[in-house]
Amino acid sequence: MKQAANRLVQGAGYIAGAAVVLILVLVCIEVIARQFGASTQVADEFAGYLNAIVIFLGVGYALKEGAFIRVEIVYDKLKGATRNLAQWIIVVTSLIFAVVLTYFLAMHTLYAFEQDIRAVSVVETPEWLPMLVVTIGCLILVVQLVMFLVTRFKNLP
């Protein structure tokens, strides 16, 4: 199970990295097109969707690699059992928040799919598509938080 979770998180991290490159390419294409008096008309919209991919598919990877946001000014001052307790509280609280968030995102994504809600843009992108990426990203975060807890639980003295 741990290996499957690691592959899932690693794959999501690679997709997030590819999305950063795609944003760069999209912006460069738009800049060049504007030099010739043209526009893609969709660069802003697609860059926003790609940004959501970077953020939400990258969050589980960031946690796995230890790059997740922490309030280190307080955390680094804690020692021993107090630090371990704080870490457990933070991870469990984060897990509860991520599970609740994932549930409501899934419900909202399903609603957007059922109602066929579309972006007010040239492409009229079905809104459930970018919302699904956000939901999947939060689900991956839940998986990574569970794996974090399982790993720590196994290593208790």
Which pLDDT tens digit goes with each residue over 120-135?
988 999 999 999 999 9
Q: What is the pLDDT of residue 71?
A: 67
Mean pLDDT of 93-111: 97
Domain that holds residue 52: 2-154
**C-beta contacts of 50-55 below 8 A and 24+ residues apart:** 50/19, 50/20, 50/22, 50/23, 50/26, 51/19, 51/23, 52/130, 52/133, 52/134, 52/137, 53/15, 53/16, 53/19, 53/133, 53/137, 54/16, 54/19, 54/20, 54/23, 55/16, 55/137
pLDDT at 156 over 60: no
Q: State the total domains in the chain.
A: 1
Closest to 94 in 3D by CA, of 125, 128, 117, 71: 71
pTM (2 decimals)? 0.85
Q: What is the pLDDT of residue 75?
A: 75
User: Phi, psi at residue 110, to the nearest 5°?
Assistant: -60, -40
Q: What is the pLDDT of residue 87?
A: 82
Q: What is the pLDDT of residue 144?
A: 92
Q: What is the pLDDT of residue 70?
A: 67
Q: Encoding tokens for residue 148?
A: 């974090």
Tell me the percentage of the chain whose pLDDT exceeds 90: 67
Of 15 and 69, the structure prediction assigns the larger pLDDT to 15
pLDDT in tens, 67-100: 776 667 777 788 888 888 888 888 899 999 999 9
Q: What is the pLDDT of residue 155?
A: 58
Q: What is the pLDDT of residue 148?
A: 86
Mean pLDDT of 94-116: 97
Confidence of residue 153 (pLDDT cuts 50, 70, 90): confident
